[in-house]
Chain A
């Protein structure tokens, strides 16, 4: 959280995260490039530029697969949340690796010609309607690279404020079509060519892992049946909500509400963090403030407001008791609206 924009809010964990990330990229590239033709029994090596393009391309694919696995992994097991905290740096480094792959390809396959490199990229293969095998797989790669560059360029919180969180979030869903395009780019380009099927297995397993983890996270986080009527929603026995934690309730509208218990009283706020829609209900109360599990944004549970000087606000919801059951209002109050907490006594609310 910050009240002003600075390039990176460094902290010790981020330094460690980025060091491990860059070291892993370095090890991947070193390991890829150190395999010699003698190791493989080949008379001659692949051209240097092609070898480099393959190394950076394979690295970008593996990194993008990893990025897309982090979200569902963190939903399935909170011990993976540290991977998610600095995921945007992961994304920026991936875009840089993909751009390097593109540079090697452009300066090799599309260079040395009277036509400009970028021009040649557009006209050299235009077999769009001539069957599957010769389809210009470069188009998939260009789309994926442009998407990654847009996501990297807009990854800073400035752009989220500027574009508004819903637009920013929507824009960053571009990562999914970008990944599909990368898989198609690899399948139509590298895989159709190769006799050795090892890389095909890597790509298939990677893509299936991404799909499988997302399905698993979606199934595990499935809401209880939505209420059929639009009235107040039963949030269960209030005494069973642990101190400092929340129960997530789904409204008929589909919106999710986090009902927190703090110092013996219950309050309800939207489950979506104002920062990046992180699941506030999976967070905890630290220093009297609800703390988002994704990036640590904090809110006063009674008002939905971040502590001064921060200005983030989330919607709040009214609560009431009926027959020992806790009920949540179906209507959100405007972000930052104070609500009177509902006290809990001896395992029962009053």
Chain B
């Protein structure tokens, strides 16, 4: 019994429902770990853990759907005394993250079997990372964002190095870890400075503070803001904070690369949008030029550096930098239109990146090391369907009409031109031309006759059921997003309107 004089520690009421999607994912992760320790040597554990992971994603999606229905009728709100927000914006990003996680899980099953890496921990780590991303999507507080950043990153560091026998995978893990923790530190320092300037870490609180009070000495705030941008710029792989991207994307196991490209970008951009367009909207005159610079640099560095590569996985890694540039075009517009364009772009990029990396994973075959352009020669005659699908995903990334990539580019350019940024849009379009050159090189290689003497006959390309399903979903989605994008565009638009402020 507690004595009468002791006051219980006051804690915020826990709104379980607000974080139910995250809990579902994390519960599945814990279940996998428990199962692994209970049934240590049963070979079926691997199979079961993948199913549990998919079930966890499904449960999480269900809770996210319920949140959407609630937000749609009752409007957005803040829970856990403002630490997290339950709003349309969060639901949209969470849907993208869940979709990307599902696709990555489907790819992983066959990959792990092929590489003899079967272990349930892989799925637990992926779910753990996804939990962090989900939390980041609904974070309404800089501390929550930092926590989720750490949750998602630490699991990803391990995943990147998961193929222990391959030196490049180890290198990827270590590189990602060193630079990642450095950027986390920078981000944390940014939080401290922003807290110092505004007296709160709550995003809505910052917005209210800045609306009420004009800072006479705003140096601390700006340095803090800059550090936040650097920290998140690292996570979204925007130039000039992109140095790690090619090496890590190339070295990490390919399903992890797909997961990083699709889901991490979505989560990190959610944080960028919440912090900059949400909390610091009033100061957009000050941060927009910086984001403008990041966008232009990312577009140019990503597409130009990809031109000189001969490794397909590395080309796609560089291109992911330029795709971050396109999303930043939407961010720097600092309007609702720009935000929903960025959301749509992130969603489309998740689909086309996962699809392209899935084929890269298959073509690499056992050992995950056949990534050179010459390895793609003759793919069209050997495996016409795979070549056709990769062509589809690459053309989508190039922004060819009737694929989602075109609509995504159309919406970010629209957002830029809407606020009078004609030159930024033009830079984006010309970067797309350079990008097209890179993608067409890969396409040309696939449709070239096989190089008889140069390419040694490797093992056959085997498409397992999970990868097949993932590819079908991705291909269907990318055409759907290109031909009838209305549904997702409207969703993104509604999500932006239902943003908790």
Decide whether A and B are members of one complex.
Answer: no
> Which A residues contact B (CB, under 8 angstroms)?
none
